[in-house]
Each structure stands twice: as structure tokens, then as C-alpha cells.
Amino acid sequence: MSGDVSSRVLGPDPTVGSWVAVGQADCPGADSAVRVELGGVPVCLARSGGVVHALFDECSHGRVPLSEGTVDGGFMECWWHGSRFDLDTGIPAGPPATGAVAVYPVRVTAGGIEVAVPGTRTGGARG
Ligand code: FES
């Protein structure tokens, strides 16, 4: 189907990640977002309705950090031209952005939040 934004995703492939812990200091507060670097990937962590989401931290329109935008009702709104990206899918709800941004799985553990980030190695034994 032409115009299907879900087929054009900006950011590293979200299907090849492994879990990376996010420090407590990097966890976003209610209805806010922060930028973190996880495994060399810029990630926008956004908390909306008590749920933390992770997206590639670059707007698919102007390549500015989405984490500097606004969290609003399940969407991340770009601060520059106002496109709103669905926090679950990374798909923009409207123009000017037409391409989706990658979203990454998030899980809550006893130690905090972990994000599955592409390009990182899986756990294994330490030293
Ligand atoms: S740079 Fe994000 S909508 Fe234009």
C-alpha cells in the first residue's frame, strides 16, 4: 500500500535488541521525556499515563531530538513543527512527518527499567 508510514522507519532495527538497564536518574517523570544513550543509540524515554516508552530520539521530519518535545496523551509531539508520534508504534499521526521512528521494547524489573536496544550484546556472565 503506498503511503504506508509503518514501512519506513527511522532508526536502528528494533527487532535485534538486547536488554540494557536504564539508571534511576535517567527515568522520566510523569508526562515527560528524557534523552539517554543506550548502546550508542540515542533513545527518547517518555512516560505517559504511568507507562514508559522508548523511541529512537530523532524526528523523522527534521532530525531533531524528539525528547525535547512534549508528551501528550500517548503521543510524543515534536517541538519544531508539531508532528505527533504514537508512543506505541512510532507512527506519526499527521504531517509534516510522514515516516515512523523506531520504538524499542521496555520492561520493568526489580532494579528499574530496561530497554531492548539494537546493536547491543546480550547479557552473559560478567568477569
Ligand atoms: S522536525 Fe519534527 S515535525 Fe518537523
CATH of the domain at 112: 2.102.10.10
User: What does pLDDT average to over the chain?
Assistant: 84
Residue 23 lies inside a defined structural domain of this protein: yes
State the Cα–Cα distance between residues 12 and 125, nearest whole angstrom: 26
Residue 2 lies inside a defined structural domain of this protein: no
Model confidence band, residue 70 (pLDDT cutoffs 50, 70, 90): very high
Phi first, then psi, for residue 14 (nearest 5°) are -75, 0
Q: Which domain holds residue 99?
A: 14-118
The number of residues in the chain equals: 127
Residue 86 lies inside a defined structural domain of this protein: yes
**Rounded mean pLDDT, 85-108:** 94
Residue whose CA is at the smallest distance from ligand 1 atom 3: 81
Residue 93 in contact with ligand 1 by CB distance below 6 A: no
Residue 7 lies inside a defined structural domain of this protein: no
Residue 100 lies inside a defined structural domain of this protein: yes
Residue 123 has pLDDT above 90, yes or no: no
Residue 4 lies inside a defined structural domain of this protein: no
Residue 1 lies inside a defined structural domain of this protein: no
**Rounded mean pLDDT, 56-66:** 96
What atom of ligand 1 comes closest to residue 78's alpha carbon? 2
pTM above 0.75, yes or no: yes
State the Cα–Cα distance between residues 61 and 100, nearest whole angstrom: 9
